[in-house]
Structure 1
């Protein structure tokens, strides 16, 4: 056989080189199929996880989830790196591959979203599609409830509130002062006459603020030339054991004993006495000194309000209290503020013709060396 015959030899009408190329291609295909089978076997040998983590719009979901009509949703599955993931959204749309998939539902229904990992691990997530909810905006409603909208100068009022909000913190202010209270209820003392404003802010939110105005009226002191009734008719005389040596019971009116009336000066016409404000003829509730001392001690302890003493008093705020050892008497409300949490040792008082307590004299217990009240 010559060289020419070798290169020109044919088999079944085809050159032998064609047959050789076809044989090489067959071996290559067989090798590729074998490789794919080995790879598939190794993947299928890995068991499927019992659960996988799926998120919709960054929120982790379990067996059920919610999506909204005609809104784009981002699906993400958290699994091993390099895993092959396919998404079937159950609404007839095309299958999407990848760890992340974007999808929009156009019907309201419950769709079984099927996630296939590595071709053999399948997980199903039920997604409920509904219309976007309409957000309901609740307007904050705050109501301040005072004991009263009117008070006398030096008096106290208690405030509470009611609202449709979840109350987490309170901040009460008496505007014009630096006083701030953070309790659920607040008690303010009104020292200035006129209209004053109380403000409440809930949950430290300036948008949740409410104000109320309180009318503060001045104290109307009764005009009485003889407030203690010494030597006159109607009120009893002042017991001498309630007065300090040299004490002037008329000092409240600025008229010292023995001083002549201006109308008695030579050459001056008589001066008419000022009109006396007549007390209310209604009888006050009679009370004995021991019971009154117990009630007044409860006020100093913060267990009762000053208003609890009013049914027994003379002209309410005009009742004066003198502490033993002090030269001057003060109003009852001022005395209570100055002596909060102190102990009363003894108490005496004078009644008027209505059985009302007109003037009070008290002795307070002294503090011990360590700030403790002595016996």
Structure 2
């Protein structure tokens, strides 16, 4: 076994096409640089140490051992790179998944443990796929910025709850994603196929962002769930039917749910062209619901009746009545708690709606039909 040490101004440069560098022993890089343009394999039982002020550049990088980075670590080339061992990007480290003008980009698939205590960046045309555990252990001031594609199909852990910024494409079927998430790019829950992306904390959708949801059945559709709030600051929502699905009955798809409530709306909503006259979005206190109706929805009708719904008496103690506009076609009435839980549901009109078993407090009444309306009800 041997050790190779790179001191300041020292370099190993391999420009030979098709060359491989296989590491079976510890390689510390101290204040020097490694410019390696062939595949680098760090085998099980081996270790790579990239020190402060050092730079490690490689094309395909396969790590089954241990790699510690305190300097600059760059990976680029279209060939798949894999971390199946332990990669530690330490506090002074900077990890970059680079896009070379020569290549279409890099792909790094993490199936092991990727510990990030420094700055982490993916550039345009690059892709980081997390099928293992991605630990963000960095203190405040460090950043995780995605301008390429980041797919999280497992666990993304954040020690201090700092935010992640997406300026590219983010997706996957997450099991765990800690830390606030700011989306200024594109969100694809499920990524390749229908799935669910779970944020443990808040999700913020900026006005430049897109959220793409696929619907393949009455219960088979993309979902985003948040353990805190979902904040919609405009942006675009795109809905598409997939796998030959075509709804034939009235359906409600709860595409987004938030434990601490939903605020704001999307500025633009795009439905499938053949269905846009039958679909709308309803913003509930804790959910965003896409509604499909077999009856054609009229924007003019919605505007006309917008302010003509009335609950009386309100406040009420035992029951209330509902006044609806002339020509309104009733579909359902739901009484919802402020946390978004549906407490009562009526599928036909009633002379009066019994609320005697509800506790005193504030509720929302959601009326659906040829138009929709949300009204506040106070129970005494």
- TM-score of the two chains, using structure 2 as the length reference: 0.20
| Larger proportion of strand | 2
| Larger proportion of helix | 1
RCO comparison, higher one (Cα < 8 Å, 6+): 1
Greater Rg, structure 1 or structure 2? Answer: 1
